[in-house]
């Protein structure tokens, strides 16, 4: 970054240039000088605008190892937590600052150990509350507080956690709030916690001339064959969005079964699984990732050429976030929506109204959709209608034994059962002969 107005140190400029960052983005030009002046920030900016460096660089420049814990960055998801903390680590390497990422799904003990020598915490609200309750961290020395993707944190219900955290932080601090949209809730939050902030509003990072938005009208039965047909055409990296976690897993499995190598990313996966899938996708070990909105939050990959809405989002903001994953860094991209059910049509009408004249309807023009190959399944033998519990017991025995049970014949009576938790009812017909003789003796 060679912009003199940013007033960055020579070591920082050199480090930025080594990583290929030579020109500041519009949001960096606006925000970096304001943070260095001590101003609070309220910035409306979407993913891909360079906002992470806009707050990370000045915080790093003004922090030293001897200062102790001085900065807290709150983020909505684990993926974004790792991405933001990674940026801090990359550009603070020469200063040897302690950077700790705090999020759920991994060992809390390791995080507690790291917190003892940290300068900057990047955290999800839930895990940070857990650490505060344990007395593992104190926030009374915080000088810089950042809300990254504040709108998403509110959407995910973190407002109570955020307010509990803010009570632990000194009122005399520098607060920066970044959001893709400035809703009434965000405005209320900024009024309550920001002091005369510098307001920055930037247009979407996605330029209409680079992003092509289209949609298909289809049916529930044709949606999967249509998806496979489209994915088998030329693609670089493709991100497919679903609304529900179980749908992502099922769709990725079905696509892979039809020759389209795909993996899923959702909140029920372990942290190590999510990190492995994300890294493999980033390094193009496979090129179709099926994800939910929350899981894809913080997924910053520049080479995504196509975004698909396999399930239509229920609000316009989610649609905007999704399509903003492509057509970035001056590259062209396409966002394609598959609209099938009546409920999806209802949601998509709102999206069409907001993006009037931008989203074009596409047709297949009598293209034959692929016939789905039947996947091998476990052989289930059809049982007869009179299949009884005796048959079931026999089947269970056959499953665990190579030979049938050996019958034990006794001279004076029927075979005793091998084992029983309940005593069998003895009748006159099946009582042992010795018992009959004793009964006859007593009768006499």
Tens digit of each residue's pLDDT (9 = 90 or more) over 173-196: 999 999 877 888 888 899 999 999
Residue among 156, 182, 177 at smallest CA distance from 41: 177
Mind listing the pLDDT tens digit for each residue in 116-171? 999 999 999 999 999 999 999 999 999 999 999 898 898 888 999 999 999 999 99
Mean pLDDT, residues 78-102 taken together = 91
Q: Quick check: 212 and 335 in contact, CB under 8 A?
A: yes
pLDDT of the residue at 329: 65
Indicate if the pLDDT at residue 331 is higher than 50.
yes
In this prediction, residue 110 has a pLDDT band, given cuts at 50, 70 and 90, of very high
In this prediction, residue 203 has a pLDDT band, given cuts at 50, 70 and 90, of low
b/e per residue, 260-282, with b = 16+ CB within 10 A? bebbbbbeebeeeebeebbeebe
User: Apex CA 121: angle with CA 115 and CA 123, to 5°?
Assistant: 110
In CATH, which superfamily holds the domain spanning 4-201? P-loop containing nucleotide triphosphate hydrolases (3.40.50.300)
Mind listing the pLDDT tens digit for each residue in 245-301? 999 999 999 999 999 999 999 888 887 888 899 889 988 999 999 999 877 766 777
pLDDT of the residue at 271: 76
Residue among 53, 44, 43 at smallest CA distance from 1: 53
Distances in Å between the alpha carbon of 289 and those of 279, 328, 360? 11, 18, 24
Mean pLDDT, residues 30-46 taken together = 91
Indicate if the pLDDT at residue 431 is higher than 80.
no
> Mean pLDDT for the chain?
82
pLDDT of the residue at 46: 64
Strand residues in 148-296 grouped as ranges (E): 174-179, 198-201, 211-217, 237-241, 262-265, 288-291
Residue among 120, 22, 14 at smallest CA distance from 62: 120
Which residue(s) pair with 281 in the sheet?
none
Backbone angles phi, psi at 297, to 5 degrees: -65, 130
Residues of the chain with CATH 3.40.50.300: 4-201, 211-362
> pLDDT higher for 244 or 420?
244
Q: Quick check: 265 and 295 in contact, CB under 8 A?
A: yes
What CATH number does the domain located at 211-362 have? Answer: 3.40.50.300
Instruction: Tell me what percent of the residues of the chain surpass a pLDDT of 70.
Output: 79
Mean pLDDT, residues 24-45 taken together = 90
Mind listing the pLDDT tens digit for each residue in 399-427? 444 445 555 454 455 445 444 444 444 44
């Amino acid at each position: 970054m060679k912009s003199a107005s940013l007033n960055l140190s020579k070591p920082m400029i050199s480090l930025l240039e080594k990583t290929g960052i030579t020109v500041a983005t519009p949001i960096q030009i606006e925000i970096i000088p304001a943070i260095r002046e001590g101003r609070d920030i309220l910035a409306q900016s979407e993913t891909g605008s360079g906002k992470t460096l806009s707050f990370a660089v000045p915080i790093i420049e003004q922090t030293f190892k001897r200062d102790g814990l001085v900065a807290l960055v709150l983020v909505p998801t684990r993926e974004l937590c790792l991405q933001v903390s990674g940026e801090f680590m990359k550009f603070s390497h020469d200063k040897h600052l302690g950077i700790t990422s705090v999020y759920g799904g991994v060992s809390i003990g390791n995080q507690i150990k790291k917190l003892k020598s940290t300068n900057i915490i990047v955290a999800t609200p839930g895990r940070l509350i857990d650490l505060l309750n344990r007395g593992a961290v104190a926030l009374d020395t915080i000088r810089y507080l950042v809300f990254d993707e504040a709108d998403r944190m509110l959407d995910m219900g973190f407002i109570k956690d955020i307010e509990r955290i803010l009570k632990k932080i000194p009122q005399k601090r520098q607060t920066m709030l970044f959001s893709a949209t400035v809703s009434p809730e965000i405005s209320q939050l900024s009024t309550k916690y920001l002091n005369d902030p510098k307001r920055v509003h930037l247009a979407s990072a996605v330029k209409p001339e680079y992003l092509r938005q289209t949609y298909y009208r289809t049916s529930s039965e044709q949606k999967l064959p249509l998806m496979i047909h489209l994915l088998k055409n030329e693609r670089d990296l493709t991100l497919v969005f679903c609304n529900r976690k179980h749908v992502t897993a099922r769709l990725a499995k079905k696509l892979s079964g039809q020759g389209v190598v795909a993996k899923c990313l959702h909140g029920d996966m372990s942290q190590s699984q999510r990190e492995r899938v994300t890294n493999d996708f980033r390094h193009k070990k496979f090129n179709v990732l099926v994800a939910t909105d929350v899981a894809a939050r913080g997924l910053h990959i520049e080479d995504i050429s196509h975004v698909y809405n396999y399930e239509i989002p229920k609000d316009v903001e989610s649609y905007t976030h999704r399509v903003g994953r492509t057509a970035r860094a001056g590259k062209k991209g396409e966002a394609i929506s598959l609209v099938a059910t009546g409920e999806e049509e209802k949601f998509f009408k709102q999206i069409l109204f907001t993006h009037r004249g931008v989203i074009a309807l596409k047709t297949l023009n009598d293209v034959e959709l692929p016939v789905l190959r039947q996947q091998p399944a476990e052989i289930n033998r059809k049982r007869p209608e009179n299949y009884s519990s005796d048959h079931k017991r026999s089947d269970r025995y056959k499953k665990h034994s190579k030979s049938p049970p050996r019958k034990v014949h006794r001279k004076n009576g029927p075979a005793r059962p091998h084992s029983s938790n309940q005593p069998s009812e003895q009748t006159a017909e099946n009582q042992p002969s010795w018992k009959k003789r004793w009964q006859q003796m007593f009768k006499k």
